[in-house]
Structure 1
Amino acid sequence: MLEGWLDRAMEGGASYADLRVLKVGSTRLELKDGELKEAVEGNEVGFGLRVLVNGSWGFASANSLDPEQGMAAVDRAISLARATAVRAGEPVVLASVPVISEDLVWRPAKDPRDVAIEDKLEMLRDMEAAARRSEHLASVTTAYTEGTRRVELLTSEGTRLSHGQTRVIALANLTGRREGVMSSFRVRVGGVGGFEIFSAEDPVERTERAVGSLETLLGAGRAPGGRMTAVVDPDMTGVLVHEAFGHASEADLVLAGESILDGRIGEKLAAEGVTIFDDPTLEGAFGSFPFDDEGVKGSRKTLMEDGVLTNFIHSRETAGRLGHEPNGAARSQDHSSR
């Protein structure tokens, strides 16, 4: 059936087509000040289809794998691509990548689906109890989220790829009040994997430590204004690099003229010793993945070396436009996003 949808796209005039099927299972639990606010389990399936016609993209999606919806989506995508091509500027050229045939699942050591809901709720209650050791706690919210994601990708070039992974996250948001001053502190523990993550890093212990951080914030004076040298912890460093540099390194933003890094490859932008990687292969990390959503293998890439800008984060399209090598960074929000 899926092969037939690709065949229809190529017969309809596409020079390239890919079909991405996404199957997601999820659980979310939330407690606010001891009261259960959310307990939701769900499953979702859908697909997204991209076609290139006359150098322009067309895209369509559906929330099922119904054969008739699939054929209709192909026709919609072809029509959209033809309509877009009339107004398009530079035609899309995809950088070449190897054809892949692989079935890969990153299996958690302790599958969260094998853990009872009651045990997950108990963990959240223990996190709340730890938070309540603060003398000045005004409110606390704890939450748990898990998700299993399975992607099947077929391309007109011959790639046939299936890969899957599981993520778990435990959160606590502590809000305190002291002498008219309010402040908050958040705890987040999780990543790609299962409940074994919480054995390596206990969310309850992290919440206990957060109490001290909250009390420090509530008792802290106002920071002085002006420019000065700052000592930044690893978490804040990650946020700064992600927001100020990471997004600016996305090649689609560069091509759109919306990045401060446009035209600055090879330029020294930071001090000696500042080297920045984008690495989706880190085991257990939140952003880890084996393949991107175009079927390009995830890889560690150096974006800045000793202060010099060396590369951008690429899809096949942006790599083709800029004459760079694709580096496995094409990501879609879900099956309904191109």
Structure 2
Amino acid sequence: MIEEALVSRVLGEALRTGGDFAEVFVEDKRSSSGRLDDGKIEELGSGRDRGAGIRVVVGETTGFAHTADLSEAGLLAAAEAAAAAARGGGGGVRTVELTRVDTSSQPVGERPEEVAKATKVELLQRADEVARGQGGAIRQVSASYGDSRRRILVANSDGLLAADDQTRTLFVVGVVASGDAGMQTGRRSVGHTMGFELFDRYQVEDLAREAAEQALTKLRARPAPSGALPVVIGSGGGGVLFHEACGHGLEADHIQKNVSVFAGRVGQQVASPLVTIVDDGTIANEWGTFAIDDEGTPAQRNVLIEDGILTDYMWDQLRARKEGRALSGNGRRQSYKHLPMVRMTNTVLTNGSSTPEEIVADTPNGVYVSHLGGGQVNTATGDFVFGMTEAYLIEDGKITEPLREGNLIGNGPKVLEMIDAVGNDFQMGPPGTCGKDGQGVPVGDGVPTLRVTSLTVGGTAA
């Protein structure tokens, strides 16, 4: 996106007045989106954002500047501004020789930017038609499409020069049904790090039908029970619980600030021996997958908890340098306008040996959760509240009646200890956007079917 010689000069300018570390991050992102609501195309647009962020570190101080001007003058001015913010003296000129790191981006079969807008609109219309065709109780259908192509270049004063080309495609269907139980909703989404060939793998008609069926099923749902109960979480649908309730507590910035319940516990038993949790940015085509993170580190598979033992945390450049640790590929940023921080990629709980049928049959009474919605987590304590967007009663070892939406309330570290069954049916869940300190990045999560011996269900049944 910019010449290698210019990158080297910018790094030299960033270090001219003294600095321990300097970095140039260049981004060129194109995107398009469309939204249908109530049978009408409400939005159809595209955009482009390109620029560079420059970071200079002096001791414990970080200076950062960003610019949309990718000319030599613009980049040098940003480098000078970042250096001024971090200046610690020293003077002199430092020449940085860059060594390109070979990376392999996710292959793209059909570039979304080469697909006609009319074709994308047709996807929205087909989803609307199929969802409405599931019954007269369907009152509202919304569908949205999005794609992006993000090209990045990262260079730093250690001599690193790396690049990545990331294409992501997303489709979401939301349905509202109305009946005696009031208004009920259904939602399905699919998104992968790939091009328009996503729709060779997934049919929007299937997503629309499943979203409508979810909403219609909830019309005949009974109120969720309340109190402490065994909870079985279905494959794929419960990964967000572990992302939020445990994953954030394993990010090194929270560890160094001592605001995580997992601080200082490497080598200790923190979960059931059935639990192995991995953060993996290399899983082919998943939503949180990339070739390099936003600091130029190759994506990696990082085992965080193995057989219940805490083995490591997730690291970014600055915190790994400070602790003398190896980089884990978890330095991520929303755009060139933001500083990188420690973030998850695809966070998963790996397979066990039980079948999902065995787990349910071995649960006399409880709640089966197919899909979890949004929630809130206190990373310092691990306490969480999550919404159940699709759940069923378990009676006599069988999944029976659907339940209206309620909450799951618990504590992340305790949940890890109370997992007493893990299935062999691992699936990734729907694509997500993780928010942290005002930045959002694409992430994935996944789980097999599993059982927690006791969680508080916040239902409305007496």
In the superposition, the TM-score normalised over structure 2's length comes to 0.67
Select 1:53's aligned residue among 45, 48, 58: 58
**C-alpha displacement of 1:180:** 4.9
Gaps of 5+ in 1: 86-97
Residues 143-158 of structure 1: matches in 2 within 5 Å?
143-158=144-159
Q: Per the alignment, in what secondary structure is the counterpart of residue 235 of structure 1?
A: coil
Select 2:41's aligned residue among 23, 27, 36: 36
More displaced 10-residue stretch of structure 1: 17-26 or 216-225: 216-225
Amino acid aligned to 1:306: D
Amino acid aligned to 2:135: S
- The answer to whether the 8 A contact 2:15-2:83 is kept is no
Identity %: 30
CA distance in 2, matches of 1:78, 1:321: 20
- The answer to whether the 8 A contact 1:54-1:82 is kept is no
More displaced 10-residue stretch of structure 1: 275-284 or 260-269: 260-269
**C-alpha displacement of 1:12:** 2.1
- The answer to whether the 8 A contact 1:18-1:155 is kept is yes
More displaced 10-residue stretch of structure 1: 295-304 or 6-15: 6-15
CA distance in 2, matches of 1:100, 1:313: 25
**C-alpha displacement of 1:336:** 0.5
CA distance in 2, matches of 1:319, 1:77: 22
Select 1:80's aligned residue among 73, 85, 89: 85
Amino acid aligned to 1:215: L
**C-alpha displacement of 1:31:** 0.7
Matched, 1:174 2:175: yes
- The answer to whether the 8 A contact 2:143-2:171 is kept is yes
Matched, 1:4 2:5: no
CA distance in 1, matches of 2:258, 2:153: 33
Closer, same or farther: CA 246–99 of 1 in aligned 2, 3 Å:
farther
- The answer to whether the 8 A contact 2:174-2:211 is kept is no
Select 2:75's aligned residue among 64, 70, 78: 70
Residues 1-338 of structure 1: matches in 2 within 5 Å?
1-82=6-87, 100-102=100-102, 104-132=104-132, 133-338=134-339
**C-alpha displacement of 1:295:** 1.2
Bigger proportion of residues as strand: 2
What's the counterpart of residue 423 of structure 2? none
Amino acid aligned to 1:80: A
CA distance in 1, matches of 2:214, 2:280: 30
Q: Per the alignment, in what secondary structure is the counterpart of residue 37 of structure 1?
A: strand
**C-alpha displacement of 1:300:** 0.5
Q: CA RMSD in A?
A: 1.8
- The answer to whether the 8 A contact 1:292-1:298 is kept is yes
**C-alpha displacement of 1:326:** 1.5
Q: Which runs of 4+ in 1 moved over 4 A?
A: none
The count of corresponding residues between Structure 1 and Structure 2 is 325
Q: Per the alignment, in what secondary structure is the counterpart of residue 46 of structure 2?
A: strand
Residue by residue over 1:255-282, the C-alpha shift from the partner in whole angstroms, topping out at 9 and shown as x without a partner, is: 1222221122222222121111101100
CA distance in 2, matches of 1:134, 1:279: 41
- The answer to whether the 8 A contact 2:252-2:313 is kept is yes
**C-alpha displacement of 1:103:** 5.7
- The answer to whether the 8 A contact 2:185-2:214 is kept is no
Q: Per the alignment, in what secondary structure is the counterpart of residue 18 of structure 1?
A: strand
Amino acid aligned to 1:337: H
CA distance in 2, matches of 1:322, 1:259: 17
- The answer to whether the 8 A contact 2:163-2:292 is kept is no
Gaps of 5+ in 2: 1-5, 90-97, 340-462
Closer, same or farther: CA 35–155 of 1 in aligned 2, 3 Å:
same
Residue by residue over 1:29-70, the C-alpha shift from the partner in whole angstroms, topping out at 9 and shown as x without a partner, is: 001011111111111111000111244211110122133222
- The answer to whether the 8 A contact 1:190-1:198 is kept is no
More displaced 10-residue stretch of structure 1: 288-297 or 73-82: 73-82
More displaced 10-residue stretch of structure 1: 66-75 or 43-52: 66-75
Q: Per the alignment, in what secondary structure is the counterpart of residue 237 of structure 2?
A: helix
More displaced 10-residue stretch of structure 1: 313-322 or 135-144: 313-322
